[in-house]
Amino acid sequence: MVKIGIISDTHVSEKRGKLNEKIFEYFQDVDLIFHAGDITSPKVLDELSTIAPITAVKGNNDKFELKSTEFILINSFQIVLNHGTNFSANFDQLYEFGKKYNADILITGHTHKSHMEIIDDMLIINPGSARGTNASIAILNIDEKDKLITDIDIDFINL
């Protein structure tokens, strides 16, 4: 079993303080962390990396060097991580973007709204924003016996 913490839109800065402490509690036993952009401060990645290895992509508010898209293979699932700036909440466009990279799982952010949808055997996940009154994160569990997207377990957590 691979347990992945998924987070996006932390927007941490001098004015906006620090990460919600509950994130560290919920992510304490994850194997990996994926951050879908709008980190705004590299210290967020430093703090999260004390929990587990982290893969992060650049969001539209990030002013430091990150790739815009990352590709991760876990078991037989191709995971594509992208902030989603150009697609916002248009799930047809998100699907087409993921399809271009043969994604089984597409993880995005940007909208600040948690969402999960399966389109033609592609699981599209947005964990929501880790800031604000409706803050949320997600936990993705991929078991080695999972063969279909519908076998994968995902939990959204309100902070």
Residues 39-46 have a mean pLDDT of 95
Does 16 score more than 90 pLDDT? Answer: no
CA distances from 142 to 26, 45, 70, 75, 145 (A): 17, 23, 18, 8, 8
pTM, full prediction: 0.95
Predicted pLDDT at 13: 81
Residues 55-107: pLDDT tens digits?
999 999 999 999 999 999 999 999 999 999 888 778 889 999 999 999 999 99
Residues 22-39: pLDDT tens digits?
999 999 999 999 999 999
End-to-end CA, the chain: 24
- Please classify residue 78 by burial: count the beta carbons closer than 10 Å to its beta carbon, then call 0-12 exposed, 13-18 middle and 19+ buried: middle
Classify residue 14 by its DSSP letter: T
Classify residue 64 by its DSSP letter: S
